[in-house]
């Protein structure tokens, strides 16, 4: 709570004196919930000399739209399959009793294709003209935000707002967020990653198929609904429009779906041939044989069909809009068609940017395959995000606070300043580090075995040593162990190995991927003596104070994967200008990540425990010792495993 109160109190005092709101942006849901559910309510009582008004804002798609819900229920038989139609009725019952109206208030989320038809969307919103405007959940949240002194959002919503403002060049009006000039970026070390996901462009096979499915899928969708509506009207305009739907739109959707499948199949073949799930597209990708094998023609055909489909949708819409009665009868449906048209255009733009870039701005491009159904994505991201953040975020604000438990490396802020574009004199920040209130020397011990096989030299030997260590620590501490890995594969293998040893018979074993993160954390806390195996999302933003967590095993130093496209591109750019990518990029990232992992253990003044780092490079390499020196001042035990194990047992006795 200390860090958050450090910026919330000044923000609220400033609002009381000057009438200016502050936007607080976080990376994790956990911190959002802490601010909204704990810290700000605490300040309502503590600051009894002023009002404390606050609001949580979520993205449009998080809220149900009552107007779209009505339209979906009315179109039921032509828009949805029978099972989905009943799910819509369930959403209608929920919408009548919820006070929040957002996905997080649902006991279980609906199917994505169902939520897509009832969720709020900015380009489909009728705003003041909507009959449901006074009861709209989204605008209720925004009205509350407009009156708030502090608005809590996440980095993705903040960057979505920035993307809209950059596209419209309207900086002083409401976009995704109300206008603001004061910003707090908590968990600020994640801002660059959030910017990459929102300031780039992505097209996915699943996303394209979902758009086509919204138009037509096995006789259901917007086109069958439009056809049924037009067929019910006998005027000449409706009859002519129905002919146009059947003569142009249905064939156009079929052709575009077919061409899209060909494009993504060919790209899938490129990834499969490479034998990696993520395939970076270099400048010479235009010379790849796949272009001559059909990609060139298929992509050109797909882009042409998407454009033609958009033209035909516009033509039908414009015809119907010439008749006031037709407009009134089909207004919602025409809006849905307009929204699908825009999204199809966005897919086409993303495919162009990813596969045939203009070359005006250096970009990082890659293909990625995920899941058993092999959902392939094409992504392009500007190589250097720092100038965008500097010019379009930081320079346009009066005050920005960037804070985190992990912003400095080697006691300096040079790395994060460079990554965020805060290196010029007109945006040069004031920096400060503040000591922790915890007595790490007595509360915690950091142990590094010097004789464990290094993971980059003997991966198998290292893995066996990590599994042995988890078992040993669990037995010494009586459970209450987090074991954090840097890869899902190692985590899954560790779970198998620990179960083969029967360790799950003595300690409840919880494995990331076998249940959701929140459910795993809840079970871990309730058990009090469990072992939890986690990957990336457990290295930070997880708060387990008290006795349930009393030991932390870090499998290895958390370096970024060097072949990951953005990492590889940034390292190449550093090397090209004569720098040392390992020193300038890889080590600072690992230092921030390692601090985050270490920070899971001591959460209150009463916590005690050990952190066991199972990576001998931390003891035997110069950079490893530097990384260890940057961690909190817990008692160090850097010794062979036999001595480390003895010290661990002594600590818990």
Q: Quick one: pLDDT at residue 1? A: 55
Query: Is residue 188 a contact partner of residue 404, using CB atoms and an 8 Å limit?
Result: yes
Alpha-carbon distance 592 to 189, whole Å?
A: 8
Q: How far apart are the two ends of the chain, measured CA to CA in Å?
A: 31
Alpha-carbon distance 649 to 374, whole Å?
A: 47
Alpha-carbon distance 616 to 425, whole Å?
A: 41
* Among 645, 591, 623, CA closest to 452: 645
Alpha-carbon distance 117 to 340, whole Å?
A: 11
Q: For the residues of 302-363, what is the DSSP string, one character each? A: HHHHHHHHHHHHHHHHHHHTTSHHHHHHHHHHHHHHHHHHHHHHHHHHHHHHHHS--SSS-E
- Which residues partner with 203 through β-bridges? 378
Sheet-wide strand order for 509-511: 509-511, 531-534, 481-484, 551-554, 609-613, 444-449, 635-639
The pTM for the full model equals 0.84
**Residue in the structure block whose two tokens are 């009665």:** 325
- Which residues partner with 610 through β-bridges? 445, 551
Separation of CA 19 from chain center: 32
Interaxial angle between packed helices 296-320 and 324-355, expressed in degrees from 0 to 180 and rounded to the nearest 10 = 160
Tokens describing residue 319: 């015809």
* Among 390, 366, 363, 440, CA closest to 602: 440
Tokens describing residue 166: 């950059």
Query: Is residue 476 a contact partner of residue 648, using CB atoms and an 8 Å limit?
Result: yes
Q: For the residues of 154-188, what is the DSSP string, one character each? A: EHHHHHHHHHHHHHHT--SS-SSS---SEEEEETG
Interior angle at CA 222, CA 216 and CA 224, nearest 5: 70
Query: Is residue 286 a contact partner of residue 244, using CB atoms and an 8 Å limit?
Result: no
Q: Which residues are CB-neighbours of 47 under 8 A, at least 6 positions away?
A: 9, 12
Q: Quick one: pLDDT at residue 127? A: 84
For 7, 384, 457, 631, the CA distances from 402, given in Å and listed in that order, are 10, 20, 38, 20
Q: Quick one: pLDDT at residue 326? A: 67
SS3 56: strand
Query: Is residue 491 a contact partner of residue 482, using CB atoms and an 8 Å limit?
Result: no
Q: Assign 3-class secondary structure to 237-290.
A: HHHHHHHHHHHHHHHHHHHHHHHHHHHHHHHHHHHHHHCCCEEEECHHHHHCHH
Q: How many helices (H) and strands (E) does the chain have?
A: 29, 16
Q: Quick one: pLDDT at residue 80? A: 67
Q: Quick one: pLDDT at residue 65? A: 93
Q: Quick one: pLDDT at residue 312? A: 85
In which element (H, E) is residue 223 found? helix 222-232
Query: Is residue 565 a contact partner of residue 605, using CB atoms and an 8 Å limit?
Result: no
Alpha-carbon distance 393 to 191, whole Å?
A: 11
CA atoms in the 13 A half-sphere facing the CB of 52: 18
Within the chain, which residues score under 70 in pLDDT? 1, 76-83, 326-327
Query: Is residue 587 a contact partner of residue 515, using CB atoms and an 8 Å limit?
Result: no
* Among 384, 348, 175, 364, CA closest to 260: 348
Query: Is residue 628 a contact partner of residue 446, using CB atoms and an 8 Å limit?
Result: yes
Taken as a whole, the chain contains a residue count of 653
Interior angle at CA 616, CA 613 and CA 621, nearest 5: 120
Q: For the residues of 369-416, what is the DSSP string, one character each? A: EETTTTEEEEEEEES--HHHHHHHTGGG-SEEEEE-S---BTTB-HHH
Output the average pLDDT for the chain.
90
């Amino acid at each position: 709570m200390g860090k958050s109160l450090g910026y919330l109190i000044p923000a609220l005092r400033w609002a009381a004196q000057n009438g200016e709101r502050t936007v607080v942006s976080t990376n994790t849901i956990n911190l959002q919930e802490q601010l909204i559910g704990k810290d700000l309510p605490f300040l309502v009582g503590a600051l009894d000399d002023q009002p404390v008004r606050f609001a949580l804002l979520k993205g449009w798609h998080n809220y149900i739209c009552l107007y779209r819900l009505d339209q979906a229920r009315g179109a039921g038989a032509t828009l949805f399959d029978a099972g989905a139609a009943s799910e819509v009725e369930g959403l209608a019952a929920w919408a009548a009793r919820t006070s929040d109206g957002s996905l997080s208030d649902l006991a279980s989320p609906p199917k994505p294709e169902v939520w897509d038809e009832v969720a709020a969307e900015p380009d489909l919103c009728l705003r003041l003209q909507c009959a449901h405007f006074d009861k709209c959940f989204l605008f209720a949240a925004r009205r509350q935000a407009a009156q708030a002194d502090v608005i809590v959002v996440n980095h993705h919503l903040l960057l979505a707002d920035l993307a809209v403002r950059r596209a419209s060049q309207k900086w002083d009006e409401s976009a995704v967020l109300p206008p603001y000039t004061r910003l707090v970026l908590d968990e600020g070390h994640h801002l660059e990653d959030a910017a990459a996901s929102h300031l780039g462009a992505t097209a996915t096979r699943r996303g394209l198929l979902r758009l086509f499915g919204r138009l037509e899928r096995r006789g259901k969708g917007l086109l069958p609904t439009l056809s049924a509506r037009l067929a019910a009207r006998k005027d000449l305009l409706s009859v002519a429009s129905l002919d146009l739907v059947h003569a142009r739109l249905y064939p156009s959707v079929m052709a575009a779906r077919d061409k899209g499948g060909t494009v993504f199949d060919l790209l899938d073949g490129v990834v499969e041939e490479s034998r990696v799930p993520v395939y970076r597209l270099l400048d010479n990708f235009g010379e790849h044989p796949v272009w001559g094998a059909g990609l060139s023609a298929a992509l050109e055909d797909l882009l042409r069909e998407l454009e033609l489909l958009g033209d035909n949708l516009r033509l039908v819409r414009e015809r119907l809009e010439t008749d006031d009665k037709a407009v009134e009868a089909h207004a919602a449906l025409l809006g849905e068609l307009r929204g699908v048209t825009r999204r199809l255009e966005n897919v086409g733009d993303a495919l162009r940017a990813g596969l045939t870039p203009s070359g005006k701005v250096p970009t990082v491009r890659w293909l990625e395959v995920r899941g058993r159904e092999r959902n392939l994505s094409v992504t392009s991201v500007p190589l250097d995000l720092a100038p965008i953040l500097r010019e379009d975020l930081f320079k346009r604000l009066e005050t920005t606070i960037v804070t985190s438990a992990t912003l400095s490396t080697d006691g300096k802020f040079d790395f994060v300043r460079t990554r965020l574009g805060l290196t010029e004199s007109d945006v040069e920040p004031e920096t400060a580090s503040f000591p922790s209130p915890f007595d790490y020397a007595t509360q915690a011990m950091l142990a590094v075995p010097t004789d464990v096989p290094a993971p980059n030299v003997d991966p198998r030997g290292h893995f066996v040593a990590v599994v042995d260590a988890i078992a040993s620590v669990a037995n010494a501490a009586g459970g209450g162990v987090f074991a954090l890995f840097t890869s899902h594969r190692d985590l899954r293998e560790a779970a198998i190995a620990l179960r083969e040893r029967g360790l799950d018979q003595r300690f409840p074993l919880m494995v990331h991927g076998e249940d959701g993160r929140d459910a795993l954390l809840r079970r871990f806390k309730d058990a009090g003596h469990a072992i939890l195996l986690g990957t990336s999302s457990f290295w930070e933003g997880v708060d387990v104070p008290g006795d349930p967590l009393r030991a932390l095993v870090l499998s290895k130093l958390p370096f970024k994967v060097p072949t990951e496209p953005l990492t590889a591109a940034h390292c190449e750019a550093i090397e090209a200008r004569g720098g040392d990518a390992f020193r300038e990029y890889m080590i600072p990232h690992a230092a921030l990540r390692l601090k985050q992992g270490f920070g899971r253990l001591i959460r209150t003044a009463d916590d005690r425990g050990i952190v066991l780092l199972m990576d001998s490079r931390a003891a035997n390499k110069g950079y490893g010792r530097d990384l260890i020196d940057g961690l909190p001042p817990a008692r160090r035990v850097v010794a062979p495993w036999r001595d480390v194990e003895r010290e661990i047992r002594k600590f818990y006795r």
